[in-house]
Amino acid sequence: MGLALYSGAHGAPDLAEALRWFRSAAEAGKPEAAFNDGTFYDDGAVVPKDEAKAAEWYGKAVEAGVPAAMRTLGLMLATGRGVPRDLRGGAEMLRLAREEGDTDVEEDVRQFLEGLTPDERAPVEAELRR
């Protein structure tokens, strides 16, 4: 129901109601809904933008094995967006997303590596190869 409200499948999108449905589903243990809750806080379209709260929701989805959450939280860790910067932790999340079949992660990994100094790059590449 949340996705239908979000996309407007039955009329105009209703993001506030979609968030209510996603939150209910996340609290009931649906990991994809936790990821969706994170995106609402990341976007700031329905609730005030709060990257730390987005990271919390993404973390819940990561614990349940959602690859897109692994990729998103990995990028947040890598850049320090909403969480303390943790290059190795970010690389670990990106590696896990790749292992779980996230096909969008490769471009993110490439951009992540391009932004690192040579000293930062070596341990990150080691984590990505693990």
Q: What is the pTM of this model?
A: 0.83
The tens digit of pLDDT for each residue in 34-52 reads 888 898 899 898 888 999 9
Q: In sequence order, what are the residues at sequence separation of 6 or more whose Cβ sits closer than 8 angstroms to the Cβ of residue 27?
A: none
Of the ranges 22-31, 41-50, 99-108, the best mean pLDDT one:
99-108
Taking residue 51's Cβ as centre, other Cβ atoms within 10 Å add up to: 17
- CA atoms of 122 and 70, how far apart (whole Å): 21
